[in-house]
C-alpha cells in the first residue's frame, strides 16, 4: 500500500472476464483469515502437522551481493587501471554466506519452515510479501495509492492468470508485431486472438496503437475493440527494444483514452545496459556498479506503473532473470480489485510459489538487505552490458559494419542507430554498379540497450531466390544451414504475432541471445554465422 497523497485506483471491474466474475472465495481458504489470531485452536483445515515435514532446517550457501561489483573486465574494454587496482583490494567476492531456515525459530515471526511448508494464503508468506511491497514502492513508484502486490509463479503464470482474469473468448489482445511466442500460446487456446501493432526502435509505436484503436471496425475484424494490451517494454523479446519514458507516457494516455488495461511483462527490467558505444569511442565503460543506488534506480527506464494514476497497469515481475528461472516466483502489482480476483484464480490453481522457494528467496533478500539486492542487480546489469559489448565487438571484428544513414531505405527504425553488416574484405556490388563501393548488405541491427537479445534483420533482397520463394522460407533455409553448421538461433518467424503479415511485408530475422554462452563459444558462433551467411549469399 502506497503513499497517502496519491489518488486511489479507479473502478476498472468492467474489464473482468466472465470466468473471473464467476469465481467465489474457496470456502476453506476463507477460514485462513482467522488462522493468525493469537491463541486460536484450529481444527478446521486438513493441515498435516509440521512434525511430519522431514525438513528440520534448510541450509544454503549464497553468494555475496557484491559478487559482480569488482569483476575485472576481461576484454580490455575496461574502465581503466584504477578500477582494476581497486578490485584487488575489494572484499573477497568469491566467499559465500551461509543461511539457515529452521522449522521452529526462537522468534516465531522469523522465516520458518513450519509456516512456509504449510498450506498458506495465495499471496505468499508475509516476510517475502512485505519485502516485495517495499521494493516495488521504491523502485517502480506506482502513481496511485492502493497498488497491491500478489505473488505468482513466474511471469508465464502471471500472464496466464491475467488472460483468464481479463479476457473472454472471442476477444483480442494488443501485442507488438514481434512478440514472445509463449505469451501468444497462452491466449490462443482460450480463443483470445493477437492484434498486432507496429513497432519501431523503442518497441510498440504509439501512432500505430492509435491507428489500430481509433480505426477499429468490429464487424470487419470479427471482434470487439481490444481492451487489454500485452507488452514487454524493456529488452523486448525478441527485438531487444527498450521503451523510454516519453513513449510510455504516450501509450499510457492512449490506453486511458480507449480504456485499455496494460499488462507489462518486464523480466529484463534490471538488465538495462545503456547505449552500445563503438570500441574506438569507449573511453570509459558504462558501469552500473559505479553509480549510487539512487543514481542507478533513476537511470533505469521507468515502469508503466510510474504513469499509472488509475490502476490500469498489471505489472508482472519475476525472479527468473534476477535469481533463477527454476525458482518459479514473481509478483503482480495491480489495483486491489484485480489483485483480489487474481488471488481467487491462484487459490484454485498454483496457490503460490513453493514454500522452499519462498523461504530461500525471502532469506536471500533478508540477508542482502535492500542495499545488497540493488547491488546484486547493478552487478547483473554490468555483466550483461559486458556480454552485449563483447558480442557486438566480435561482430565488428568479423564483418564490415557501418552505421546506416538515417535516410537509408535500410533504416526501418528511423531515429535509432542501426548497424549494417557486409562480408569482410572489400568487393564491389556489380548490381549497384556506377563504381560506388557499395557493399552487399547481409544483415543489420539496432544494438540493444537492455536484455539478452540481438535481433538481426536479414537483407535477403539481393538474394537471387528472393523473388521465387517466400521470405520466411528463405529465412528458414538459412536457419537450417546454420543449424547444420552447428549454430542454433531463433528464427524470426517464430516471433511473428501475425504469421501471414510477417511473410508478406517483412524481411527475414534472427534472434540471437548473448546471455548464456561463454566468450569462446560466442566467438565460435559468430565464426559459423559469418561463414554460413556469406556462403548463402554467394552460391545459389
Ligand atoms: N484434493 C483433495 C481431495 C484434497 O483433500 C486436497 C488437500 N486438502 C487437495 C486436492 C490439494 O492438494 P495439493 O496440496 O496437492 O494442491
Ligand atoms: N515473458 C517474457 C517476455 C520472457 O522473455 C520470458 C522468458 O523468456 C518469460 C516471460 C518467462 O518468465 P518466467 O520465467 O517468469 O515465467
At residue 2, φ and ψ (nearest 5 deg) are: -100, -145
The reported pLDDT for the residue numbered 470 is 63
The reported pLDDT for the residue numbered 38 is 80
Q: Is 272 in the pocket of ligand 2 (CB under 6 A)?
A: no
Ligand 1 midpoint to CA 100 (Å)? 29
The reported pLDDT for the residue numbered 228 is 98
Asked if the model's pLDDT at residue 434 lies above 90, the reply is: no
The reported pLDDT for the residue numbered 433 is 44
Ligand 2 midpoint to CA 182 (Å)? 8
Ligand nearest to C-alpha 117: 1
Ligand 2 midpoint to CA 265 (Å)? 8
Q: Of the residues 157, 160, 318, which should be mutated to test ligand 2's pocket, given the most ligand atoms within 8 Å of the CB?
A: 318
The reported pLDDT for the residue numbered 287 is 80
Q: Is 180 in the pocket of ligand 2 (CB under 6 A)?
A: yes
Are the C-beta atoms of residues 20 and 13 closer than 8 Å to each other?
Answer: no
The reported pLDDT for the residue numbered 438 is 56
* Ligand 2 atom nearest to 236, measured from its CA: 3
pLDDT classification of 469: cutoffs 50, 70, 90: low
Q: Is 317 in the pocket of ligand 2 (CB under 6 A)?
A: no
Q: Is 265 in the pocket of ligand 2 (CB under 6 A)?
A: yes
Strand partners, 421: 401, 443
Q: Indicate the range of 24-28, 34-38, 83-87 predicted with least confidence.
A: 83-87
pLDDT digits (tens, 9 = 90+) for 299-325: 999 999 999 999 999 999 999 999 999
Closest to 230 measured CA to CA, from 268, 180, 165, 170: 180
The reported pLDDT for the residue numbered 74 is 42
ipTM of the complex: 0.76
Residue identifier of the C-alpha nearest atom 5 of ligand 2: 237
* Ligand 2 atom nearest to 319, measured from its CA: 15
Q: Of the residues 151, 152, 156, which should be mutated to test ligand 2's pocket, given the most ligand atoms within 8 Å of the CB?
A: 156
What is the C-alpha to C-alpha distance for residues 404 and 412, in angstroms, rounded to an integer? 10
What is the C-alpha to C-alpha distance for residues 246 and 201, in angstroms, rounded to an integer? 13
Ligand 1 midpoint to CA 201 (Å)? 48
Asked if the model's pLDDT at residue 65 lies above 70, the reply is: yes
> Apex CA 256: angle with CA 165 and CA 144, to 5°?
75
The reported pLDDT for the residue numbered 426 is 45
* Ligand 2 atom nearest to 232, measured from its CA: 3
Residue identifier of the C-alpha nearest atom 12 of ligand 2: 155
What is the C-alpha to C-alpha distance for residues 347 and 246, in angstroms, rounded to an integer? 38
What is the C-alpha to C-alpha distance for residues 355 and 100, in angstroms, rounded to an integer? 14
The reported pLDDT for the residue numbered 41 is 86
* Ligand 2 atom nearest to 316, measured from its CA: 15
Asked if the model's pLDDT at residue 430 lies above 60, the reply is: no
Mean residue pLDDT of the chain comes to 88
Ligand 2 midpoint to CA 457 (Å)? 23
pLDDT classification of 80: cutoffs 50, 70, 90: very low
Across 34-54, b (16+ Cβ under 10 Å) vs e yields ebeeeeeeeeeeeeeeeeeee
% of the chain at pLDDT higher than 90: 70
User: What is the pLDDT averaged over residues 138-151?
Assistant: 98
Ligand 2 midpoint to CA 267 (Å)? 6
Are the C-beta atoms of residues 173 and 199 closer than 8 Å to each other?
Answer: no
pLDDT classification of 472: cutoffs 50, 70, 90: low
Q: Indicate the range of 244-253, 349-358, 433-442, 445-454 predicted with least confidence.
A: 433-442
The reported pLDDT for the residue numbered 213 is 98
Are the C-beta atoms of residues 269 and 234 closer than 8 Å to each other?
Answer: yes
User: What is the pLDDT averaged over residues 129-157?
Assistant: 97
Q: What is the pTM of this model?
A: 0.90
pLDDT classification of 474: cutoffs 50, 70, 90: confident
- Alpha-carbon Rg for the chain in angstroms: 25
Are the C-beta atoms of residues 79 and 290 closer than 8 Å to each other?
Answer: yes
What is the C-alpha to C-alpha distance for residues 270 and 235, in angstroms, rounded to an integer? 10
Output 315 or 283, whichever has higher pLDDT.
315
The reported pLDDT for the residue numbered 338 is 98
The reported pLDDT for the residue numbered 459 is 87
311 Ramachandran zone, left/alpha/beta (phi>0; psi -120 to 50): left
Are the C-beta atoms of residues 144 and 197 closer than 8 Å to each other?
Answer: no
Amino acid at each position: 500500500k502506497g503513499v497517502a497523497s496519491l489518488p486511489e485506483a479507479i473502478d476498472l471491474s468492467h474489464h473482468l472476464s466472465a470466468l473471473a466474475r464467476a469465481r467465489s472465495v474457496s470456502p476453506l481458504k476463507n477460514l485462513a483469515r482467522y488462522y493468525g489470531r493469537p491463541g486460536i485452536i484450529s481444527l478446521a483445515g486438513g493441515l498435516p502437522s509440521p512434525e511430519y515435514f522431514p525438513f528440520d532446517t534448510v541450509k544454503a550457501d549464497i553468494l555475496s551481493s557484491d559478487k559482480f561489483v569488482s569483476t575485472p573486465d576481461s576484454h580490455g574494454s575496461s574502465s581503466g587501471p584504477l578500477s582494476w587496482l581497486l578490485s584487488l583490494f575489494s572484499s573477497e567476492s568469491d566467499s559465500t554466506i551461509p543461511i539457515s531456515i529452521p522449522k521452529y525459530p526462537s522468534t516465531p515471526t522469523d522465516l520458518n519452515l513450519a509456516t512456509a511448508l504449510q498450506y498458506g494464503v495465495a499471496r505468499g508468506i508475509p516476510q517475502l510479501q512485505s519485502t516485495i511491497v517495499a521494493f516495488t514502492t521504491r523502485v517502480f513508484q506506482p502513481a496511485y495509492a492502493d497498488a497491491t502486490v500478489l505473488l505468482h509463479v513466474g511471469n508465464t503464470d502471471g500472464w496466464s492468470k491475467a488472460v483468464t482474469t481479463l479476457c473472454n473468448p472471442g476477444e483480442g489482445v494488443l501485442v507488438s508485431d514481434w512478440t514472445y511466442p509463449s505469451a501468444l500460446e497462452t491466449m490462443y487456446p482460450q480463443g483470445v486472438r493477437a492484434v498486432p501493432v507496429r513497432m519501431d526502435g523503442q518497441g510498440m509505436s504509439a501512432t500505430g496503437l492509435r491507428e489500430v484503436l481509433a480505426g477499429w471496425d468490429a464487424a470487419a475484424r470479427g471482434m470487439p475493440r481490444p481492451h487489454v494490451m500485452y507488452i514487454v517494454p524493456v529488452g523486448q523479446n525478441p527485438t531487444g527494444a527498450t521503451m523510454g519514458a516519453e513513449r510510455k507516457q504516450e501509450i499510457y494516455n492512449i490506453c486511458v483514452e480507449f480504456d485499455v488495461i496494460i499488462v507489462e511483462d518486464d523480466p529484463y527490467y534490471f538488465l538495462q545496459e545503456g547505449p552500445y558505444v563503438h570500441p574506438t569511442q569507449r573511453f570509459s565503460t558504462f558501469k552500473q556498479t559505479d553509480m549510487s543506488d539512487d543514481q542507478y534506480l533513476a537511470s533505469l527506464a521507468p515502469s508503466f506503473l510510474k504513469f499509472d494514476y488509475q490502476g490500469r497497469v498489471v505489472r508482472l515481475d519475476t525472479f527468473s532473470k534476477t535469481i533463477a528461472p527454476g525458482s518459479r516466483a514473481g509478483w503482480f502489482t495491480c489495483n486491489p480489485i484485480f489483485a483480489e480476483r487474481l488471488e481467487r484464480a491462484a487459490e484454485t490453481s498454483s496457490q503460490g510459489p513453493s514454500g522452499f522457494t519462498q523461504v530461500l528467496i525471502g532469506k536471500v533478500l533478508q540477508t542482502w538487505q535492500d542495499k545488497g539486492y540493488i547491488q546484486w542487480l547493478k552487478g547483473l546489469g554490468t555483466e550483461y552490458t559486458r556480454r552485449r559489448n563483447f558480442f557486438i565487438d566480435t561482430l565488428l571484428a568479423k564483418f564490415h559494419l557501418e552505421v546506416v544513414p538515417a535516410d537509408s531505405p535500410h533504416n526501418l527504425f528511423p531515429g535509432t542507430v542501426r548497424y549494417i553488416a557486409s562480408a569482410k574484405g572489400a568487393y564491389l556490388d556489380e548490381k549497384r554498379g556506377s563504381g560506388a563501393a557499395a557493399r552487399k548488405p547481409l544483415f543489420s541491427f539496432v544494438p540493444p540497450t537492455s536484455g539478452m537479445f540481438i535481433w538481426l534483420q536479414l537483407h535477403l533482397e539481393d538474394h537471387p531466390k528472393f523473388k521465387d520463394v517466400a521470405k520466411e522460407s528463405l529465412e528458414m533455409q538459412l536457419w537450417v544451414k546454420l543449424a547444420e553448421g552447428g549454430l542454433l538461433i531463433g528464427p524470426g518467424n517464430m516471433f511473428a504475432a501475425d504469421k501471414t503479415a510477417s511473410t508478406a511485408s517483412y524481411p527475414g530475422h534472427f534472434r540471437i541471445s548473448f546471455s548464456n554462452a561463454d566468450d569462446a563459444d560466442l566467438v565460435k558462433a559468430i565464426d559459423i554465422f559469418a561463414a554460413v551467411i556469406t556462403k548463402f549469399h554467394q552460391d545459389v
